[in-house]
């Protein structure tokens, strides 16, 4: 019962407040706690559709900042002038050529809310998560400034330990965080990685 109340609360709140997905509240909680995004920042959002993180990020960076989004699916246009989106598969794209008119390097923050298609078969899903994580990490290596922050959704799986070890090698501080807006039945967890080495 409590699960339905939670789902309805965030779903209805998103509808009322004009956010495209309830995921917006997960990023808001992360920001309230870790303060990763600042006014004037340049942010790259991986797995951005339908666009609720873009909506929030656009306001967080303000008119002096910019937000670029990448998703395998098209993101319906958003009115804010500081948002650019492109359609691309993060596993296949040559990361240096994906953003027309923008260099792929020099981002202050990279966020990633990508969810792979999970089959329920452990070995298959672990392989999918690892492949995706490898591609995302490659993008982060190219895109994020030294000292920059990286926020990534991950899942409690067999490959979890390897993922967190790689993140800890690449960043000065890594915190695992489960926002209240994340369903308790979901195996997702967010890593907030501060200070790219
Ligand atoms: C949970 S949704 C993101 C929601 C988004 N943060 C928001 O607030 O609107 C996950 C997204 O990851 C995208 N995705 C999955 N695999 C991808 C890939 N290989 N490359 C790019 N995007 C991918 C999906 O198309 C989906 O839109």
Active site residue 153: yes
What are the C-alpha distances in Å from 135 to residues 66, 139, 140?
Answer: 23, 6, 9
Instruction: Classify residue 134: in a domain, yes or no.
Output: yes
Mutate which of 60, 72, 125 to test ligand 1's pocket (most atoms within 8 Å of Cβ)? 72
Across the range 155-170, mean pLDDT stands at: 89
Give CA–CA dist 179/125, Å, rounded: 23
Instruction: Classify residue 153: in a domain, yes or no.
Output: yes
pLDDT digits (tens, 9 = 90+) for 44-83: 999 999 999 999 999 999 999 999 999 999 999 999 999 9
Instruction: Classify residue 4: in a domain, yes or no.
Output: no
Which ranges of 75-143 would DSSP assign to H, the alpha helix? Answer: 122-143
Cβ of 7 closer than 6 Å to ligand 1, yes or no, is no
Instruction: Classify residue 53: in a domain, yes or no.
Output: yes
Instruction: Classify residue 131: in a domain, yes or no.
Output: yes
Active-site residue (options: 13, 92, 145, 153)? 153
Cβ of 25 closer than 6 Å to ligand 1, yes or no, is no
pTM equals 0.93
**What tokens does 162 get?**
């390897």
CA 170 to chain centroid, in Å, comes to 17
> Scanning the structure block, which residue is given the tokens 């960076």?
61
Work out how many domains the chain is built from and give that number: 1
**Domain CATH for 80:** 3.40.50.150
Instruction: Classify residue 7: in a domain, yes or no.
Output: no
Mutate which of 14, 18, 47, 132 to test ligand 1's pocket (most atoms within 8 Å of Cβ)? 47
Instruction: Classify residue 189: in a domain, yes or no.
Output: yes
Instruction: Classify residue 107: in a domain, yes or no.
Output: yes
Q: What is the largest CA-CA distance in the chain?
A: 49
Band (pLDDT 50/70/90 cuts) for residue 179 is: very high
Give CA–CA dist 53/23, Å, rounded: 7
C-alpha of residue 23 to centroid of ligand 1, in Å:
11
C-alpha of residue 118 to centroid of ligand 1, in Å:
13
Q: Which of these, 44, 49, 68, 65, lies nearest to 150 by C-alpha position?
A: 44
pLDDT digits (tens, 9 = 90+) for 118-142: 888 989 988 999 999 999 999 999 9
| Cis amide prior to 50 (ω within 30 degrees) | yes
Cβ of 71 closer than 6 Å to ligand 1, yes or no, is yes
Domain extent, residue 79, equals 23-196
Give CA–CA dist 26/2, Å, rounded: 18
């Amino acid at each position: 019962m409590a699960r339905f109340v939670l789902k309805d609360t965030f779903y209805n709140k998103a509808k009322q407040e004009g956010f495209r997905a309830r995921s917006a509240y997960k990023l808001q909680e992360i920001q309230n706690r870790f303060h990763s995004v600042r006014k004037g920042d340049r942010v790259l959002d991986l797995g951005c559709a339908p666009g609720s993180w873009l909506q929030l990020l656009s306001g967080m960076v303000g008119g002096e900042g910019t937000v670029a989004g990448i998703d395998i699916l098209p993101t319906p246009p958003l009115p804010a002038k500081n948002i650019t989106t492109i359609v691309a598969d993060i596993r296949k794209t040559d990361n240096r050529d994906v953003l027309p008119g923008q260099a792929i390097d020099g981002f202050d923050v990279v966020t990633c809310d990508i969810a792979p298609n999970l089959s329920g078969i452990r070995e298959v899903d672990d392989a999918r998560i690892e492949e995706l994580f490898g591609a995302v990490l490659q993008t982060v290596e190219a895109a994020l400034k030294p000292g920059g922050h990286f926020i990534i959704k991950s899942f409690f799986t067999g490959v979890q330990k390897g993922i967190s070890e790689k993140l800890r090698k690449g960043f000065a501080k890594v915190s695992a965080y489960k926002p209240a807006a994340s369903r308790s039945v979901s195996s997702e967890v967010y890593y907030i990685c501060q200070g790219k080495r």
